[in-house]
Amino acid sequence: VSDTHELAEALRDFLLRSHRLMDRRMRAEGVSLARFKLLSFILREQPVRSTDVATAFGYSPRTVTEALDGLEREGLIARQPDPVDRRAKRISITPVGETALRASEPLRDRLRDDVFGTLSGEERAAMAAALAKLNHRLAALEAPE
Amino acid sequence: VSDTHELAEALRDFLLRSHRLMDRRMRAEGVSLARFKLLSFILREQPVRSTDVATAFGYSPRTVTEALDGLEREGLIARQPDPVDRRAKRISITPVGETALRASEPLRDRLRDDVFGTLSGEERAAMAAALAKLNHRLAALEAPE
DNA sequence: AAAGATTGATCTATCAATCTTA
DNA sequence: TAAGATTGATAGATCAATCTTT
């Protein structure tokens, strides 16, 4: 297939650089992008279990425990024993965590719009459609039974 | 700006998952995707310095030293003192490294074509054009003087 | 046996600091 | 002073193994 090489490179380049930019700026005024996403999810779905986070984000269990440890260490979330299942813990966001989340939200939105705003509505739609195809194909390759 | 949220999520989701897939499969028969890229560059440009690698990939110096340490530990590359600049080292690929690189190449190409092959030529071209715009915009934001 | 959570070892990446040489 | 390379501390992600409870 022609020209997939350059396309893949450009895609990876964009991810790496946009992630670096957003992370750097967001961290300076509150929470990193990765933490922002976790906190958003926890706020929306709380009380939530570790395994729910892993499923929702497609992360490995290890990644989630590690991330939650960090958030808990800084008092942004709390873990409490699940009253009905003694294997599980219920994760909730703290007032400190909610404040940090709210503080970072406008910056995140502004940066994202700054970047994606260079595309026209048609271009964004075309890109979304292409990504949907790609993600669908990827799902097929991941589970090749 | 409308619908940038879903677009950004889809993009991030695709990159995370495609990277995981390629890395898993490639590692099983040779080298990871990240190492593959480094080895390709070193093979093409050798003898090369650490700072050249950092510049070419947009990586931090720390990332490069760490990566080269790993490659050297497994005998895929060698570092030698630069004869004319005693601060520098010249990095070259070893026969073992070249073999590992060649072994992984077909797999990498096949996987990439498997994924991107679901898009038509027009779709790939549109996506490449959009990414070029995005990367250009990102560069402007990175250096905001 | 399977599910929920954690831990150990490792890779890829960052920032910030340091050391040597130019 | 600046450039080339390294090191220390840390974040974010993987796989594989373990421990407790269902």
Per the prediction, chain B carries an average pLDDT of: 92
The pLDDT score that the predictor gives to residue A144 is: 56
Distant-in-sequence, close-in-space partners of A123: CB < 8 Å, separation ≥ 6: B126, B129, B130, B133
- Distance in Å from D13's C1' to A60's CA comes to 8
The pLDDT score that the predictor gives to residue B90 is: 97
First to last CA, chain A: 25
Q: A2, A12, A18: best mutation site toward chain B, by most B Cβ within 10 Å?
A: A18
* CA-to-CA separations, B129 to A2, A116, A118, B11, B124, in angstroms, rounded: 15, 13, 12, 15, 9
The pLDDT score that the predictor gives to residue B144 is: 56
Q: What is the pLDDT of residues A37-62, one digit of tens each?
A: 999 999 999 999 999 999 999 999 99
- Distance in Å from C10's C1' to B15's CA comes to 21
The pLDDT score that the predictor gives to residue A13 is: 87
Provide the angle, in degrees to the nearest 10, between the axes of the packed helices B4-29 and B95-116: 140
**In this complex, which residue's CA is closest to the C1' atom of nucleotide C3?**
A87
Give the HSE-up count for residue B103: Cα atoms under 13 Å, Cβ half-sphere. Answer: 16
Backbone Cα Rg of chain A:
18
Q: B2, B11, B38, B136: best mutation site toward chain A, by most A Cβ within 10 Å?
A: B11
Q: Please name which of A98, A103, A109 lies closest in space to residue A22, comparing C-alpha atoms.
A: A109
Q: What is the pLDDT of residues B129-145, one digit of tens each?
A: 999 999 999 988 886 54
- Distance in Å from C10's C1' to B91's CA comes to 24
The pLDDT score that the predictor gives to residue B30 is: 81
Q: What is the pLDDT of residues A57-106, one digit of tens each?
A: 999 999 999 999 999 999 999 999 999 999 999 999 999 999 999 999 99
Taking the C-alpha atoms of residue A94 and residue A77, their distance in angstroms, rounded to an integer, is 5
| Better-predicted residue by pLDDT, A5 or B124 | B124
pTM of the model: 0.89
Taking the C-alpha atoms of residue B142 and residue B145, their distance in angstroms, rounded to an integer, is 9
The pLDDT score that the predictor gives to residue B145 is: 41
B46 phi and psi angles, rounded to 5 deg: -60, 150
Q: Is the peptide bond before A47 cis (omega within 30 degrees of 0)?
A: yes
The pLDDT score that the predictor gives to residue B48 is: 97
On chain A, the residues whose CB falls within 8 A of the CB of B16 are 58
Contact A124 B21 (CB under 8 A): no
Q: What is the pLDDT of residues B14-64, one digit of tens each?
A: 988 898 899 888 988 889 999 999 999 999 999 999 999 999 999 999 999
Contact A11 B16 (CB under 8 A): no
Is A9 at the interface with chain B, CB within 8 A?
A: no
- Which has the minimum average pLDDT: A1-10, B44-53, B119-128? A1-10
8 Å CB contact between B101 and B31: yes
Taking the C-alpha atoms of residue B143 and residue A30, their distance in angstroms, rounded to an integer, is 22
